[in-house]
């Protein structure tokens, strides 16, 4: 949706982390639901390029290899306006796939977990 393309959203490298950054909504790639081990339920995650950060910092090492680097980030509901969060959640629901990180977290099938449904 073009109206959302320029919207700035806050993302975090970890769902319980304190470091965050702002990016444009259009820069979210591969939006999906993922449940980190420390999370009580699946959360919205996506990939971004480190060169698309508008402000803030997502920890990673740009010194060893040249940018851009693809970073996994979490989009928390409490840091996002309701309409923007609903838009991102619909994108994740449409993919119907989950992308776990190496050896961490659990994956879920939306049909059985009811993810994205209003509670």
Percent of the chain scoring above 90 in pLDDT = 56
The arithmetic mean of pLDDT across residues 90-116, rounded, is: 54
Q: How far apart are CA 16 and CA 39, in angstroms?
A: 8
> What pLDDT does 96 receive?
65
Rg of the Cα atoms in the chain: 14
Start-to-end CA distance of the chain, whole Å, equals 25
**Domain range summary for the chain, segments of one domain joined by +:** 2-113
| Chain segment 40-66, per-residue pLDDT in tens | 999 999 999 999 999 998 888 777 888
Place of tokens 């609903």: 86
């Amino acid at each position: 949706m073009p109206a959302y393309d320029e919207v700035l959203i806050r993302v975090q490298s970890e769902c319980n982390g304190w470091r965050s950054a702002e990016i444009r909504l259009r820069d979210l790639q591969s939006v999906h639901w993922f449940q980190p081990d420390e999370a009580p339920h699946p959360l919205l995650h996506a990939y971004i390029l480190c060169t698309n950060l508008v402000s803030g910092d997502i920890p990673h090492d740009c010194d060893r290899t040249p940018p851009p680097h693809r970073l996994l980030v979490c989009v928390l509901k409490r840091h996002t306006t309701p309409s923007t969060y609903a838009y991102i959640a619909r994108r994740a629901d449409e993919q119907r796939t989950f992308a776990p990180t190496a050896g961490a977290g659990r994956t879920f099938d939306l049909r059985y977990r009811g993810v994205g449904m209003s509670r």
